[in-house]
Structure 1
Amino acid sequence: MAETTTIDATTVERRSFDDASVAAIFRRVAAEAPFVYGLTNYIAANLSANVLLSAGAGPAIGAGADWPRIFPAGAGGVWINTATVMSNDLETVATVARTAHRAGTPWVLDPVANGAGATEYDAFVRSLLDHRPTIIRGNASELIALAGGDALGKGVETTADSTDAISHITDLAARTGAVVAVSGRVDYITDGRRVVAVEGGDVRLTQVTGAGCSLGALNAAVAAVADDPFDAAVAAHAAYARAADKAAAVLGPRGGSGSFATALVDGLWELAN
């Protein structure tokens, strides 16, 4: 029987990559090699592509020519990191979300910097909910704000702990029909009924540009092959946490953040193979 705990009257089940079913779902990515299409910010694109490749997926990133109207319908999974508005207009981003939803392609919304005080940007992020994302993942401040709560982010960084977001993400999942996952010292994943905690990781994940953004891409890859998006999000987060643990073990406490990024990708490759 899975280990459970209670947080603020919510029953939370602990899962990890040690669970055979979790590992099996993640390894389906390498076995099936899905095409995963995404829009992300140019800062995170390289690491996101390498994370997807290490897991066995085939990535395409960007809004070249008519990609936004074509690729989401043919992809196994799609992700949108909303910081892509740094280099793409709002209608292009909305087109990807709309096309994925209409095609029935599972897609992941990563509302980077939502709730940090940019009201026009926040309104656009909320509008993407109309296109029914399959999974929403972000940090605590981003998701508390998206759920309508009061948690002011500091730019792209959170000022809240992931545990503070549990009730908010549960409500957000129930209202939107999406699986919602919050990252932090402990990651929590919910579909509005079930809540799973995934422990692990390393503080150096917060010191690598695009580490959180790349987790959104990984969620899309696993959602492309999994039967249940809830299981997909759990598997993606568990694999990412375990890869970070592997990276930390290889480098030790003195290994720098640059080496950590490489070791993280290597860890994912090892888990996939």
Structure 2
Amino acid sequence: MDQPGLNLTKMRETAPLVQNITNYVAMNVMANIMLAAGASPAMVHAREEATEFTALAQALTINIGTPSLAWAEAMIEAASTAHRLGKPWVFDPVAVGATGYRRDLGVRLLACKPTVIRGNASEILALAGAQTAGKGADAADSVEAAKDAARDLARQTGAVVAVTGPVDIVTDGERIAEIANGHPMMPRVTVLGCSLTGIVAAFLVDQDPFEATIAALAYYALAGEMAGRESKGPASFQTAFIDALYGMTPEALDNGARITLR
């Protein structure tokens, strides 16, 4: 994949409306990050209107970071609607292996056929039914350790699976891409991973899921590198990161992305 900048250009030209059923912690930061990138975020999670809004939106994200019974049912109904209408949706299985409730919810959401599954290594391992060392939302497994599970999960579900970490991987069950951009400060700022899910969804609109996911992860990770050169700590990093997303050109993405296809 030589020109992820084309995917960035397409996303910005489309300015897609993305419905996000996400967690309490992520909403504000995620919305600001998506706006800076060029997308239009909508945080619509109430069961009374979630599926109606899904029909209006161009893409959907579902994040199980702070689930409750009403939110879970809204997630299932919105995901089912997106699948039925042929709209892309991204599943972010936050801490899916931590409790039985989350594991059951993860199974139900997988049955709604996500376009992309994006999580850390421990989450992907747990979702695939493999042994994991993860605790809560934090990854305790390496991306490399999750590679086979990610490939198997992609084959089982038909989804593109993205495992994020120091080096991200993306697989459709056959092909695997590695994205080697990023900065160590990124895990020090809460909900940057959750917010990435929204960026992936925005890139998916009217684009090939495998290539769009790779481009989204490269764009995001390269912005982290750019922010890391300017920041003094987590607080200034977050500000610099949002500015980097806003200011990045397609040419800069093409020149800076370190993507390897295997």
1:30-179 equivalences in 2 (<5 Å): 30-64=12-46, 66-85=48-67, 88-116=70-98, 118-179=99-160
Give the aligned residue type for 2:39: A
Give the aligned residue type for 2:93: P
Q: CA, structure 1 residues 272+217, in 2 after alignment: closer, same or farther (shift >3 Å)?
A: farther
Query: What's 1:267 paired with?
Result: 244
Select the residue among 234, 237, 240 that pairs with 2:217. Answer: 237
Q: How far apart are the structure 2 equivalents of 1:137 and 1:263?
A: 24
Q: Residues 145 and 152 of structure 1 are in contact (CA less than 8 Å); yes or no, is this contact kept in structure 2?
A: no
Deviation (angstroms), 1:199: 0.7
Question: How many pairs align?
Answer: 250
Tell me the percent identity.
41
Deviation (angstroms), 1:141: 0.3
Which stretch shifts more, 173-182 or 72-81?
72-81
Q: How far apart are the structure 2 equivalents of 1:144 and 1:271?
A: 33
Q: How far apart are the structure 2 equivalents of 1:111 and 1:72?
A: 19
Q: CA, structure 1 residues 44+62, in 2 after alignment: closer, same or farther (shift >3 Å)?
A: same
Q: CA, structure 1 residues 243+87, in 2 after alignment: closer, same or farther (shift >3 Å)?
A: farther
> Given the alignment of the two structures, is residue 203 of structure 1 paired with residue 180 of structure 2, yes or no?
no
Q: CA, structure 1 residues 84+225, in 2 after alignment: closer, same or farther (shift >3 Å)?
A: farther
Return the TM-score normalized by structure 1. Answer: 0.88
Q: Residues 94 and 128 of structure 1 are in contact (CA less than 8 Å); yes or no, is this contact kept in structure 2?
A: yes
Select the residue among 249, 254, 263 that pairs with 2:229. Answer: 249
What is the SS of the residue equivalent to 2:185? helix
Q: CA, structure 1 residues 87+56, in 2 after alignment: closer, same or farther (shift >3 Å)?
A: farther
Deviation (angstroms), 1:62: 2.8
Deviation (angstroms), 1:95: 1.1
Deviation (angstroms), 1:64: 4.0
Deviation (angstroms), 1:27: 2.1
Q: Residues 200 and 245 of structure 1 are in contact (CA less than 8 Å); yes or no, is this contact kept in structure 2?
A: yes
Q: Residues 44 and 53 of structure 2 are in contact (CA less than 8 Å); yes or no, is this contact kept in structure 1?
A: no
| CA deviations over 1:211-265 (Å, ceiling 9, x no partner) | 1000111100000141x100111011000110000101122xxx11011111111
Unaligned runs of 5+ in 1: 1-14
Q: How far apart are the structure 2 equivalents of 1:88 and 1:46?
A: 21
Q: Residues 47 and 70 of structure 2 are in contact (CA less than 8 Å); yes or no, is this contact kept in structure 1?
A: no
What is the SS of the residue equivalent to 2:67? helix
Q: Residues 223 and 233 of structure 1 are in contact (CA less than 8 Å); yes or no, is this contact kept in structure 2?
A: yes
Q: Residues 88 and 201 of structure 2 are in contact (CA less than 8 Å); yes or no, is this contact kept in structure 1?
A: yes
Q: How far apart are the structure 2 equivalents of 1:230 and 1:179?
A: 6
Query: What's 1:7 paired with?
Result: none
Q: How far apart are the structure 1 equivalents of 2:5 and 2:100?
A: 40
Query: What's 1:224 paired with?
Result: 205
Q: CA, structure 1 residues 66+141, in 2 after alignment: closer, same or farther (shift >3 Å)?
A: same
What is the SS of the residue equivalent to 1:36? strand
Q: Residues 54 and 272 of structure 1 are in contact (CA less than 8 Å); yes or no, is this contact kept in structure 2?
A: no
Unaligned runs of 5+ in 2: 251-262
Query: What's 2:258 paired with?
Result: none
Deviation (angstroms), 1:84: 4.1
